[in-house]
Amino acid sequence: MHQNFTKLWNITFLVVGPLWGLFVWMVWTSGQLKTPQHEILFLSVVVPGFILIYLSGFLIAKRHATKQNSASS
């Protein structure tokens, strides 16, 4: 890999973020969420899910760097 992982991960999420937002908007306006409870449940899964996926990339990179360092020692 010729680029810094953090830079590539952030660029990926700059592309994926708007697509994710489009998906959320499509579901939100589709009429599938009939009650405020459905809306709250949807948002309580989608928003933390997006954040969790974003942060997991850095956890994976950290674990990979740790394994690389221990293998080279």
Which amino acid is located at 40 in the chain? I
Is 5 a residue whose pLDDT tops 90? Answer: no
Cα–Cα distance for residue pair 49/26, rounded to 1 Å:
17
How many other CB atoms are found less than 10 A from the CB of residue 13? 15
Which 3 state secondary structure label does DSSP give 73? Answer: coil
Could you report the per-residue pLDDT of 24-62, keeping only the tens digit for each? 999 999 999 999 999 999 999 999 999 999 999 899 888
- The token pair at 1 is 């890999």
- Structure pTM? 0.75
Within 10 Å of residue 24's Cβ, how many Cβ atoms? 15
